[in-house]
Each structure stands twice: as structure tokens, then as C-alpha cells.
Amino acid sequence: MEFASPSSVYSVTGGRSQSVYATHIAQSTKMGGNNAKTTLSSGMNTHLRSPLNAGTLHSVYGTPYSSRGGFDDEDLCSPQLPISSEKKSTCVSPKMKYTLDKENKPPSKTTLSHNNEKGKLDYEIAWRDEKIKLLEQERCNLNSKIEDYAKQNLNLREELRKLQTNTPNSADELIQMRHERDSIQEYAEQIRQQKNNLQEQLNLIKQGSSTVEKELERRGHVVQTQENQIKEMSTQLEYYRHLSEQLQAEKEKMQQDMIESQTSLQTKIAEYEELNGVQEELLRAITEEKKKASDLIKSQASDKSQIEKLKKENERLELLVDKLQSDMKRDHQEIYNQKILFNSTIEDTQRKLQDEIAKVNKMYEEARKEIEMKDSILSSQQQASQQKILSLTDQIRDQMDKYDRNITLLKQEESNEKKRHNTQVSKLKKELHSSMEMIKMLKEANKNLEDNFNQHQKIIQALEERLEKEKQEKEELNENLDILKNKLPKMLHLLEE
């Protein structure tokens, strides 16, 4: 009887290992005395140790077992291993295929990210299910192989009995037959151990499948959380834009009010200058009358009582002129100071408003750029994930030994993502707090502007009241001037008489 070499049961061809039962327990052939014994002995001695014990068993697709006696879960379902061109359509999930092929139009960024994650995990689950089926098939094959070995063992025992009864066996031949029998038993024990190892690996893969499902749910929650955060940031961005427009409208309204106030102030100043000119003309007339009166006093020194009266009138007029001059200077200086103060207040207000509007616009631009940057990062991550999915098949062998390391990297990336997310959330909270502070400052500045505007209105009302008072004084002076004009000819006539 001839036996197939155990190492020939598993072969590697063309870079892809295939579990091919090439000879699968060679068929029983003619029992040929020494030839049969020699073949059995050489086959069992040469290939006594199965490569299964060395941790190099190859599955149907050439997937090596790990040195721990099982498959690496990462190597079975790594989402970073490419799919060959002939297997892409069967490995990609229907949802991903529909998303990628529908009218050749790219889906939205959020949908593409979610579909990529869903497609990866669907592929991992399908790949694990396929591996489970392959392991079960190999277990069945090993069971059938064990049964074949048991049958061969029985056949060998019958042949030994026949040989013992038919021909005299030498001591060497008996020893050789016993040795071959022990080798067959040892090899059967090895196959049983390998069967147990495969069962343990199958259980591990089932546990990994449940882990993948949990990971899918977790990533779905993460994607939903990121979408909610993007919506919140968009709402804040819209609020900042509306606030900027509102401040711009308030600025334009304040500028219009300031222009109206300046126009009113210029009108009041023009009226005051006109009144000032009238007062100067009145002072000149009084001075001329004073000169005429002094001339009359000098020419008519005889009438003492009239002279005393004229002197008193002259002194009263001088006091009135001095008072009018001092009041005019004081009012002119006060109006000039109020004008300077009003202009400086308006300039400061305009500058503060411009600074606040510039700050709000800057915050608006920063928030918009941040959202655009996150969108670009998400799109780049989606493109990278798609490229990784397309290259799964060509990298499957290289990824088998990286399961533990990838899990560690994934945990680190998750922790980094959480830290980065927390940092972004804290940053957004700080920006929101600063925005609220800025809004409070703007409200206070607006309130101060309203107070200043009310104060200027009060100043303008006071100026109007003063102008009314000066108009009344002007009317009184005109009346006095008319009286003087009426009295002086009479007095001159009396003096001439």
C-alpha cells in the first residue's frame, strides 16, 4: 500500500495557497511484499510530522495559521486588504455597490462615509462567514481523512495477519511493520489535535464576528454624533452671519443719526453766527452813539443834570456792551468745545463699531474655514477608505500577522479622535463664550452710543434755549436802540434850544 506524503496534501501555487488534496490518501494498490513495506515505511518515516504542528497549515486560499494555532482575526477581516478584480463584485456589499454605481454620481459626503464604514464591516462579516465555511469544510475533510486512516489501519492489520499466516516473517519485517503502525497512530493523534485547534479557531472567529457587529454599531453612533456636531456648527455659523448683518445695519443707522445731528449742529452754529453779526452791528451802533453823546456832553456842558443822566446812560450801555461781549465769547468758546467733543465722540464710536464688525466678520470666516476644512478631511478620508477597499485582495497575506498591532493602532486612533473631538468641542465652547462676551460688549457699546446721543440731544436743546434767550435779549436791545434813536433827536433838539 502506498501513502501520500502529508506535506503534499497542502500545496502553494502561484502565490496563492490552495488546500488541494492532491493525492488524498492514495488508493490502495497491490500489496507487494517488500515493495509495499518499503513504501509504507519510507512514507511514514519521511513525513511523520505534519506541517500542521509547525503552525504552517494553509487554508483553501493560502491563509496561514498563526503560530498560536489559530487564525488572526485581523488577517481574516482586515478592511485594508485589496480585493482582486474578479472578486470585487462578490465581496463589496450591495449597498456600497449601489452607492458607487448609481448613475455614476458620487453620493453625499455623509452618506459616502457611512456607506464606506458599513461596506467595510459588511465585507469583514462576509469574509469571516466564508472562513467559517472553509474551516468547517476542512474539518469534514480531516474527519474523512481520519476515517480513511482508520480503515487503512484495519487493512494493514488484516494484511499483517495474512502475512503472518501465509509467509514466515522475519524479525526485521515485524519491527518495521510495528514502527509503521505506531507512526500511523501518532499521525492520527496529530490530526485529532489539529481538528481541535480548528474548532477553537472557529469559535474565535464567531466571537470576532460578534465583535465586528458591535464595532459597526459603535461607528454608526460616532458618525451620527459627528453629523449632529456639523449641524450645530452650521447653526452657529448662520447665527454669526445674522449678527454681523444686524451690527452692520445698526452701524448704518447710527451713521445716519450722526449725519442728521451734524446737520442740525451746523444749522444752529450758522444761526448763532448770524446773531453774533447782529450783536456786533449793535455794538458798533452803540459805540457810535456813545461817541455822539460824548461830543454832545463836551459841547453842551451847561446843563449838568442832563450831563449826569447821559453819563449814567453811557455807563449802563458800556456795562451792557461788556456783558454782551463776555457772554458772546463764552458762548462761542462753549459751542466750539461742544463741537470738538461731539466730533471726537462720533469718531470714537465709528472706530469701535468698525472694530467690532471686523471681529465678528473674522469669527464668521474662521468658522466657515473650519467647516470647509472638516469637509475636505472627511472627503479625503472617504477616498482613502475607498482605495483601501479596492486593494484588499492583494494585501491579504501581508495583513495576517498585523491583527494585534492594528487593534492597538485603532484604539490609539480612537483615543486620539476622542481627544481631538474634545479639543474641538472645548474650542467651540470657548469661541461661543467669547462670542457671547463680544455680543454683551456690543450691546453695552450700543447703549453708550444711545446715552451719548441723548446727551447730545440735551446739549442741542440747551443751545436752542440759549438761542431763544439771546433772541429775546436781541429784541430787548433792538427796543432799547429804537428808544435811543427816538430819544436822541429830541435830546439834541432840546440841547440846541
Looking at the 3D structure of the chain, how many domains does it have?
2
On whether the pTM is more than 0.85, the answer is no
Q: Residue 11: exposed, middle, or buried by beta-carbon count in 10 A (0-12, 13-18, 19+)?
A: middle
- Check whether residue 195 and residue 282 sit in a common domain: no
pLDDT band at 304 (very low <50, low <70, confident <90, very high): low
Q: Is residue 375 part of a domain?
A: yes
- Check whether residue 315 and residue 190 sit in a common domain: no
- Check whether residue 267 and residue 216 sit in a common domain: no
Q: Is residue 441 part of a domain?
A: no
Q: Is residue 414 part of a domain?
A: no
CB 210 within 8 A of CB 77: no
For residue 385, what pLDDT is reported? 61
Residue 255: pLDDT above 70? yes
Q: Is residue 252 part of a domain?
A: yes
For residue 28, what pLDDT is reported? 38
> For 218-236, what is the mean pLDDT?
77
For residue 177, what pLDDT is reported? 67
pLDDT band at 200 (very low <50, low <70, confident <90, very high): confident
- Check whether residue 366 and residue 267 sit in a common domain: yes
Domain containing residue 487? 236-404+446-496
For residue 222, what pLDDT is reported? 75
Q: What is the pLDDT of residues 410-456, one digit of tens each?
A: 667 767 777 876 777 777 778 777 777 877 777 787 677 778 777 77
pLDDT band at 484 (very low <50, low <70, confident <90, very high): confident
- Check whether residue 355 and residue 465 sit in a common domain: yes
For residue 171, what pLDDT is reported? 60
- Check whether residue 266 and residue 146 sit in a common domain: no
pLDDT band at 150 (very low <50, low <70, confident <90, very high): confident
> For 178-195, what is the mean pLDDT?
75
For residue 332, what pLDDT is reported? 72
- Check whether residue 208 and residue 107 sit in a common domain: yes
> For 377-386, what is the mean pLDDT?
69
Q: What is the pLDDT of residues 337-351, one digit of tens each?
A: 777 777 787 778 778
Q: What is the pLDDT of residues 83-116, one digit of tens each?
A: 344 344 444 444 444 444 444 445 555 556 656 7
pLDDT band at 180 (very low <50, low <70, confident <90, very high): confident
> For 48-59, what is the mean pLDDT?
37
Domain final position from 213, 229, 245: 229
- Check whether residue 311 and residue 193 sit in a common domain: no
> For 303-318, what is the mean pLDDT?
70
CA 264 to chain centre: 52
Q: Which residues contact 227 (CB under 8 A, 6 or more apart)?
A: 110
For residue 166, what pLDDT is reported? 57
- Check whether residue 87 and residue 69 sit in a common domain: yes
Residue 213: pLDDT above 80? no
> For 486-497, what is the mean pLDDT?
77
